[in-house]
Structure 1
């Protein structure tokens, strides 16, 4: 099982991977009979293996404690960037602005978004580290995804601009996490 956002995997993640491999190759690894079951053949409930595994995994819910809000939350009235407002650079244009030793995939999503608005790498990093409202650079869906990731990783206090985001976007991010 993969957690909804990067972070530590649940302790049973290896078992789920093995089950998936067994489902793909049933002829290679036939299921072994369970010696504990002494139910007559006619009385056995008929279930498909994949259905019972899905049911078992859906019954198993892992409670993850998330950070719902930053410790200090002064808020602001500024909302995110309008979805109709285009970004200045595409991902490939912004990648061209990176120093040679930095990969796009290694950047935080907020720095990526800042670079796509037309800022250079150094300026984007500096702005994202500033203690000011920066969420107006992001589209709403991306803002909610970033907030959800920070909530899951308990990084809201480490990301200074997050405390200025209006409460409504934290509520949306929590919905993203629950789904």
Structure 2
């Protein structure tokens, strides 16, 4: 399969991390979103929404949306709990990540890192939403080792992508001991170098 992605994107890295963790063969096709390479005619034929990541399978089928991709790739693996309710709790976190975490943490990071905005110019509602997301994660991770119990799941992969670089969006993790512990454990479980 081919993964069309931008290595600056946490959403794209999720897909790479799952493939690497599960030993799934792939070729990475760099797509520079800042140069509008997702808006070219050839790319829009792969994904009419013009977004990365997009996966093209050997039979020509394509799949988009990071959490849908990792959910498909990880089927039958230890990244999806065997217990049906635990798997549903994992899905709950996957949906929550896209609606209540990524729009705040990732957007602030994008504005600071790629648009050069100072933290003082960030939307206060985005900052408030980001800290609310971190508080929700901290509460859960104070009670469980990973987001769904004691084992790494796709919930952790998905939420690690932008949480580990939250500081690049102006979010301070000093008061979030459980999140900091979890970041280290999840990075080790995925064989990732520390985000720094």
TM-score bin, normalised by smaller chain: 0.3 to 0.5
TM-score between the two structures when normalised by the length of structure 1: 0.32
**Higher RCO by CA contacts (8 Å cutoff, separation 6 or greater):** 1
The structure whose residues are more often strand, as a share, is: 2
Larger Rg: 1
The structure whose residues are more often helix, as a share, is: 2
TM-score between the two structures when normalised by the length of structure 2: 0.30
